[in-house]
Structure 1
Amino acid sequence: MLLVKYKLDKERKKNVDQKRLVLISGIVGPMKSSNQSFINTVKGYLDNGFKVYHFAFYSKKNQKYELSALLKYENYKFFGIPNFLSYFVNGRKRKKNHKKNHNFWQLPNPNEIIKPHSELTKSQFIFKLLYDIFESLRQLIITPFLKPDIIYAYEIYAVMPGCLISKILNKPFVKRFQGTFIDKDNIESKTTLFHKKAYEKDCTLNIITNDGTKGDVVLKKLGFKDDKILFLLSGLDERITKPAEKIKIQELKGKLKLEDKDLVLGIFNRFYPFKRVDRAVQLIKELKKEINNPHLLIGGMSGPMEIPIKKFVKDNKLENYVTFLGQVKYDDMLTYYNICDVILILNDYANTGNQLLEAAYLGKQTIATDDGSNSKVLKFDNIHYVNPHNFLEEALKDALEIYKNKDRVKEKINKDILTWEERMKIEINKIDEIIAKWDK
C-alpha cells in the first residue's frame, strides 16, 4: 500500500514539475523525406522532460508527414485536423496547381543566381487569413486548460495565433525559423511582406537557423537585440552518425547498376528553381566529355523544375548518365551518401543546411556553391566550394580533380559538428532560463 502511494506521489510530482510547451506549426511538420530540423527539435524537448502539445494544420493520417516517432512519446499530444480537410489543403489541390506551373520553366544559365520566389498569391492570402482565425480560436478554446509554461511558434504561419494566446495567458513567446526568405538588403520588398510581418512581431526569443540566409541580420534590421536572437547551425541526425550497413550499400549499387561507373555524383533536393538541380545535369553533360562513364543520381520531391530538367536530359541524350530516384526517405539517406563518390549541394540560397553538415561529418567529397556563409562556417578539406557566378568551370575542375584522386582520398569522420542532441541542449538551456525568470 505504501509502495503504491509512493508511486502515485512520484507521478504527481513528475506531472507538476514537467514543463509544458505549446507548439504551433501550421502546415510545417516532419515530412518523410525532409525537415529533420522539425522532428529533432520536438524530440529534443520531449527527451528533456517537456510535455509538448502540438497544434498542426494536418491530420495524423496525412501521408506527407511521418509522426510515428513522436506519437511513441507519452509526453507528446497531437492536435490536428480531420483527414479529409488535411488532404484537401495539402494534397489534391496543390498537386493540380503544381502541375499547371511546370511548363513555364526553361533551364537557367548555370552561372546565374536565382533567388527564391515567395510572393503571396491571392489564394495563399485567403488561406493564411482563414488559418489565423481557425488557429486563434482553437488556441483560445483549448490552450488555457493546458496551462502551458511557454508558447512556441514554428515558422511564419504559427506566429499570429501564437502571439495572441501568449498575450492572453501572459506566457513567454518564442518564434522559431528555419532560415528566412527575406533579403537582408531589401527588407521592405513587397514579395516578402508576408514573412516580414511574422519576423517583426515582438517576442521573448527568436530562434533562427544559420543556414546561409542571414536570418540574424534580418532580425537585427527589424529591431531585435542580440539577447532576443539565438542563431544556431542545425545538428546531425542520429541516423547519419550510425555506421553504414555494407550489405545495403552493395545491394543499392547493384540495383542502380553503378558497379562499373567511373564517378558517381548525387544530388538530393527538391526540384525548385533556387535549389539548382539543373546545375547537376549541366555538369554531367560536360563531365561525360572528360570521363568515360560518370553517372548522376537525382533524388527529391517534385517541383516546377522537374519537367524541364528531364527534357534537358532527353534532348542531350543523357539518359544513360542520369538516374531519377524520385522521393528518397530520410532513413535511406546514409546508404545513398555512401554509394556516391561526390555529393552535390548547389543551392543559390540556404546552402548551409543539414546536407552540408552531413557531408562534412561523413568526409564525403562534396561540391557546394558558396553562399557567402557556408565557406566561412564549415571549413573542411572534403568540401569544395565554388563561386556560383563561375559554377560550371569551377565545378567541372573540382569533379575532375576528385576523379583523379578518387583511389587515394580516404573518407574521414569529422567529429567537430554538433549532433541534434547537443544542439538542442543549447536551445533548451535558454528556454529553461526564460521560464525560470518569467515565473519569478
Structure 2
Amino acid sequence: MKKILMLNTLPLINFEDTGDDSKTAGNQTLYNTLKGYSDHGIQVTMLTFADVPKVNEAFPGVIVRRSSFFLLYAIMSKMKKLISDLIKNRERQTRQRPKTEIDRRGASLFALFWRRWAYREGLRLARELEPDLIYGYEIYSTIPAKRLADQLGLPLVTRFQGTELGLLLDSEQFYQATDYLKGTAVDADLIIMANDGTDGDKVLQKLGLDENKVRFWPNGLHNKEKYLHYKKNPDYKKQLKLPEESFVICTANRFVDWKRIDRIIRVMAELNRFNPDVYLLAIGDGPEKEALEKLAQSLNLDTVIFTGVMEHEDTVHHIANADLFITLNQSGNLGNSILEALALGTVTCTLKNDSVEKVLTDGINAILFDQMDEKRIAQRLAEVIKDEKTLQSLRNNAREYAADHLLSWPERMEMEIKEIRKLMN
C-alpha cells in the first residue's frame, strides 16, 4: 500500500464519524480529498494541530495525528482571542458598517512556529511511516512539507483550496502579503490549485511557478446525481412563512470581509424599490455578522433573513428551493455553492472574471456582471424576476451544463490520484 504524509493546519470540522448521520458542515474539500484517497486504497497520515475526530481514523486508511504543537497553539490562540475580543468590543461600539478594505498580511509568528514544529515532528513521523510522498495542504504547511520532501528525497505535492492572493493581484499589497506569498510560491512536483474564482492560475503565474506542474481544477460536487435530480419543495415559501408570490434570493458564505455580503444587502435595498416581495436568505456566520445586521437595519430592510450557520445538506436544501443564488465576493465567485446551484437548477448571479467565465456564461447559464454596481445589478434582477421564460431557460441550461461538465468528487479525485500515482511510482 502506498503511503502519504500530509501536513495540514485546517480544522476537520465534519469528521465526527463516517456514517450517514455524520456532520456535513465544514470543509467539504478536505473531507472529500481524504475520502478519495481512502477509496483508492492509499494510506494517508495527516499531521495537524487543529480539531481532530473523536476516532483518529477518519476513513479507512486515513489516520489523523494531532501535533504536540496543539498545546502551544491553544495558549497562543487564547491570548490572541482575548486581545481580539477587546478590539472587537470597541469596534462594535463605533463600527456601524462592514469592512470593505481587504488586508492580507498573514500570521507570521504562528507561521514561524508551525514551519519549524511541523518539520521536526514530520521528520520523526516519516521515519516511523516510511511514506512514498509528502503532501503540503495550504499555505502554512507547504514550506515544512518542502523541507521534509527535500530531506527525505521524496516527491512533493502542494494543495490550495483557492487563494486570497487573488484579492491583491493588481494591488501594491500583493508583495506585502508575506506569509501568503511564501506559502504559495513553494516549488513542488505537483501544484494543485482549485479554480474557485480566486484567479489562482494567475497568482501562480505571477509567482513564476512552472505551469507544467500546475493543475488548475474546479472542485467536485458532493453528491452530483442527487443534485441533478433534486426536487423542489412546493411548500418551501410557506414553511419560511413568506408570501407565495415572493421571490427568494439565497446566499451562503462565511461572513468575513472579502466575501462582501454587504454588497448583496445593498443590492437588496435597491431591488426592494422595484419589488418589495423579494427576500434574501443569508446563510452563514462570521466576524462581520453584527455589522451586516446593523447595515440591514440602517437600510430599513425587513426582507433580509439571517439564518446562522447550517449543516451542508440544509444549506443545499435552501439553495435548491430558492429562486436565485447570489454571491458578490471581492474574489472567489466560483465556490462550491455556485457549482451546487448549477446542478440544482437554481439561477445564479455573480461577478465576472476569467476564472468564473471558464464555467459561467452570462445569459446562458448564469447572470453575470462586469463590475460591482448595486443599482445596475438590482435593475437587471428586477427585470429578470418578471421574466419567467428567461428564468426557466437559465435553470435548464445550468443543470445541463452541470450534468455535462461539472465533476463529482469521486471524478475529481480520480484525476488527482492518477497524477499522484505517477509521482509515487
Q: Same-fold call, TM > 0.5? A: yes
Which of 1 and 2 has greater Rg? 1
Pick from 308, 316, 321 the counterpart of residue 326 of structure 1.
Answer: 308
User: Sequence identity of aligned pairs in percent?
Assistant: 27
Instruction: Write the distance in 1 (CA, Å) between the matches of 2:86 and 2:289.
Output: 10
Pick from 16, 31, 42 the counterpart of residue 39 of structure 1.
Answer: 31
**Counterpart in 2 of 1:176?**
159
Q: 1:87 to 1:126 in 2, by over 3 A?
A: closer
**Counterpart in 2 of 1:100?**
87
The residue correspondences of 1:254-403 to structure 2 (distance < 5 A) are 254-260=238-244, 262-303=246-287, 305-319=288-302, 321-379=303-361, 381-389=364-372, 391-403=373-385
Q: Deviations over 1:132-182 (max 9, x none)?
A: 222122112222111111111000111122112212221101111122233
- Structure 1 spans left out of the alignment, 5+ residues: 1-17, 62-66
Pick from 107, 130, 141 the counterpart of residue 158 of structure 1.
Answer: 141
Pick from 29, 46, 67 the counterpart of residue 54 of structure 1.
Answer: 46
The residue correspondences of 1:217-256 to structure 2 (distance < 5 A) are 217-238=202-223, 241-242=226-227, 243-244=229-230, 249=233, 253-256=237-240
**Counterpart in 2 of 1:197?**
182
Pick from 399, 404, 412 the counterpart of residue 386 of structure 2.
Answer: 404
Q: 1:312 to 1:186 in 2, by over 3 A?
A: closer
**Counterpart in 1 of 2:17?**
none
Q: 1:238 to 1:307 in 2, by over 3 A?
A: same
**Counterpart in 2 of 1:74?**
60
Question: What is the CA distance between 1:407 and its match in structure 2?
Answer: 7.5
Question: What is the CA distance between 1:87 and its match in structure 2?
Answer: 5.6
Instruction: Write the distance in 1 (CA, Å) between the matches of 2:283 and 2:292.
Output: 13
Question: What is the CA distance between 1:24 and its match in structure 2?
Answer: 0.9
Q: Is the 8 A contact 1:275 1:348 kept in 2?
A: yes
Task: Give the SS at the match of 2:177.
Answer: helix
Letter in 2 for 1:290: F
**What is the TM-score with the length of structure 1 in the denominator?**
0.82
4+ aligned runs moved over 6 Å, structure 1: 82-86
Q: 1:228 to 1:376 in 2, by over 3 A?
A: closer
Task: Give the SS at the match of 2:136.
Answer: strand
Task: Give the SS at the match of 2:183.
Answer: helix
Q: Is the 8 A contact 2:224 2:407 kept in 1?
A: no
Q: Is the 8 A contact 1:265 1:296 kept in 2?
A: yes
**Counterpart in 1 of 2:424?**
435
Pick from 185, 201, 207 the counterpart of residue 216 of structure 1.
Answer: 201
Letter in 2 for 1:119: R
Instruction: Write the distance in 2 (CA, Å) between the matches of 1:424 and 1:187.
Output: 36
Q: Aligned-pair RMSD on alpha carbons?
A: 2.9
- Structure 2 spans left out of the alignment, 5+ residues: 15-23
Task: Give the SS at the match of 1:176.
Answer: strand
**Counterpart in 2 of 1:6?**
none
**What is the TM-score with the length of structure 2 in the denominator?**
0.84
Q: 1:140 to 1:185 in 2, by over 3 A?
A: same
Q: Is the 8 A contact 1:19 1:149 kept in 2?
A: yes
Letter in 2 for 1:352: L
